[in-house]
């Protein structure tokens, strides 16, 4: 079965390469060292030299694999042609999807239990489906440069408007009396600040922060912040809040040391480090992802897995996990009765509302938000949308973490943690199926955009704190 697995791995490289190129408008990525044409030719050679060997017992599998192999070679030839027919390309993708499903059926019929094969063929089907839907919506590959040219002409008109606004400057001289009134209102603001100071004990400044006492449904509440040791600046905002707490009987932010994936690659000091090194082989990444990015993704994944292990081993309940570019809306958390929330599954307390496919133009996030009930738990409708990001995850009980950890650690191949959780929402709703709306955990936008995944926030146009997902 090794030859079959090699075929699937090579075909998935082709699909991922094509998927990456179509999402970037046909440029083939920003990495100048990567030559798309050479890469495709190399993958074609890989497919050509793989010799499908199976015994008579698995004859149907051999036939389906050969069909899929030939179809991918044909797809590469068409893709390399500059004058490719878009309809023909869509037809080939449809045929690839059909052949992959037939192969999946044959594997089931022959009772093949190899998880590596099952995972690889599932990835082929999912990626092919995504490419087909993407190209159906786009109408093909390539950028529309004409639209950008017209936008530039519009910006020239705005320049002329700026010249007109110079006349308004003369009017401001007439409204000097209004300016003095504004100064009066500023004094009132300062008086309010003074009254706040008087409210403090011993004449100290009273913070605007909301504090949550450890009692009732918040008695065992813990808030863990995943933070790298070297990112001391990001911890300052939490430390400042903790120092303003009235006493130790109030909920504070607790630091959880994040895993540095790039350091772990060469240094395994603990038993857990040695156990987790296998994730460098298990991780699924884009074909052009660098080693640093791979280390970042693995570090984030392992940080969440290790926190789940801690929740289970220490028998912790009411645990809120956040990342160090996020903050908790303490006022909303304070008035939320945690005992009335579902107790058997992890709940998103913060995240990103996303369409099912990349940049679905028909997706209307505002319509989805209107369907949510406020200040309570809402179900994730996996056929309409998905929730991305992992900056706010709530584990009501240790029992909510157990099946999720078991599922993730049991996978032979695994994606980034946010991608895995989004995948689970659709395929394993028994593990994750709800969010709290509006978000109790929201992003510090400037810090989120500076993180290792910040490029995606900017690229996808995410310029909000995700308070409303």
Q: What is the pLDDT of residues 187-218, one digit of tens each?
A: 444 444 333 333 333 333 333 689 999 999 99
User: Does 333 reside within a domain?
Assistant: yes
- Cβ-Cβ contacts under 8 Å for 396 (sequence gap 6 or more): 317, 318, 338, 341, 342, 343, 344, 345, 347
Domain contains 244: yes
212's tokens:
């949550």
For the record, the structure tokens of 438 come out as: 């509006």
Which pLDDT score, from 0 to 100, does residue 166 have?
A: 47
Full-model pTM: 0.58
Q: Based on the domain organization, do 183 and 268 belong to the same domain?
A: no
- Find the mean pLDDT for residues 109-128: 69
Instruction: State how many domains the chain has.
Output: 3
Same domain, 234 and 190: no
pLDDT at 241: 97
Does residue 467 belong to any structural domain of this protein? no
**Would 191 be classed as within a structural domain?**
yes
Average pLDDT over residues 275-287: 92
Cβ atoms of 219 and 264 within 8 Å: the answer is: no
Res 191: pLDDT:
40
**What are the distances in angstroms from CA 316 to CA 310, 383, 423?**
8, 33, 26
Q: Could you tell me the residue range of the domain that residue 82 belongs to?
A: 2-138
Residues 328 and 452 in one domain: yes
* pLDDT band (50, 70, 90) for residue 359: confident
Question: Residues 78, 191: one domain?
Answer: no
Task: Assess whether 276 and 376 both reside in one domain.
Answer: yes
Q: What is the pLDDT of residues 297-345, one digit of tens each?
A: 999 999 999 999 999 999 999 999 999 999 999 999 999 999 999 999 9
The Cα–Cα gap between 105 and 99 comes to 10
In a domain, 161, yes or no: no
pLDDT of residue 50: 55
78 in a domain, yes or no? yes
Give domain status of residue 264, yes or no.
yes
Q: Are residues 195 and 281 in the same domain?
A: no
Pick from 4-13, 68-77, 140-149, 219-228 the range whose average pLDDT is largest.
219-228
The answer to whether residue 295 scores a pLDDT higher than 80 is: yes
Torsional sign, CA 252, 273, 299, 408: negative
Whether 382 is in a domain gets the answer: yes
What integer pLDDT is reported at residue 63 of this predicted model? 65
Please give the average per-residue pLDDT across 59-88, as a whole number. 64
> Are residues 193 and 134 located together in one domain of the fold?
no
């Amino acid at each position: 079965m090794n030859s079959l697995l090699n075929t699937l791995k090579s075909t998935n490289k082709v699909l991922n390469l094509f998927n990456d190129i179509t999402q970037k408008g046909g440029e083939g990525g920003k990495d100048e060292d990567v030559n798309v044409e050479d890469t495709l030719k190399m993958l074609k050679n890989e497919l050509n030299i793989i010799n499908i060997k199976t015994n008579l017992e698995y004859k149907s599998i051999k036939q389906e694999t050969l069909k899929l192999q030939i179809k991918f070679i044909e797809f590469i030839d068409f893709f390399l042609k500059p004058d490719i027919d878009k309809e023909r390309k869509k037809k080939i993708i449809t045929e690839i999807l059909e052949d992959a499903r037939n192969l999946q059926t044959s594997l089931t019929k022959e009772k093949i239990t190899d998880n590596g094969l099952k995972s690889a063929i599932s990835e082929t089907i999912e990626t092919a489906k995504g490419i087909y839907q993407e190209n159906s919506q786009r109408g093909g590959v390539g950028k529309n440069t004409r639209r950008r040219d017209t936008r530039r002409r519009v910006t020239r008109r705005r320049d002329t408007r700026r010249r007109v606004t110079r006349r308004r400057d003369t009017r401001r001289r007439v409204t000097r009396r209004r300016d003095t009134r504004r100064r009066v209102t500023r004094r009132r603001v300062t008086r309010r600040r003074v009254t706040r100071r008087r409210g403090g004990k011993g004449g100290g400044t009273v913070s605007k922060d909301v504090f949550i006492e450890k009692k009732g449904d918040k008695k065992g509440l813990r808030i863990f912040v995943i933070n790298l040791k070297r990112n001391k600046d990001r911890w300052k905002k939490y430390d400042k809040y903790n120092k303003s707490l009235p006493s130790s009987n109030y909920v504070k932010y607790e630091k959880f040391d994040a895993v540095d994936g790039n350091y772990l690659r060469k240094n395994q000091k603990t038993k857990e480090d040695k156990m987790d090194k296998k994730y460098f082989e298990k991780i699924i990444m884009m074909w052009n992802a660098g080693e640093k990015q791979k280390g970042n993704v693995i570090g984030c994944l392992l940080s969440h897995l290790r926190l789940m292990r801690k929740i289970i081993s220490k028998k912790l309940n009411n645990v809120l996990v956040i990342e160090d570019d996020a903050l908790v809306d303490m006022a909303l958390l304070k008035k939320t009765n945690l005992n009335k929330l579902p107790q058997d599954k992890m709940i998103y307390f913060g995240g990103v509302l996303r369409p099912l496919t990349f940049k679905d133009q028909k997706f209307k996030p505002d319509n989805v938000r209107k369907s949510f009930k406020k200040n309570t738990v809402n179900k994730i409708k996996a056929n309409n949308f998905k929730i991305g990001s992992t900056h706010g995850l709530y584990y009501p009980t240790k029992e909510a973490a157990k099946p999720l950890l078991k599922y993730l650690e049991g996978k032979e191949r695994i994606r980034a943690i946010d991608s895995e959780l989004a995948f689970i929402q659709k395929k394993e709703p028994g593990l994750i199926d709800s969010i709290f709306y509006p978000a109790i955990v929201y992003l510090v936008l400037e810090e989120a955009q500076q993180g290792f995944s910040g490029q995606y926030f900017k690229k996808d146009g995410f310029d909000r704190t995700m308070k409303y997902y």
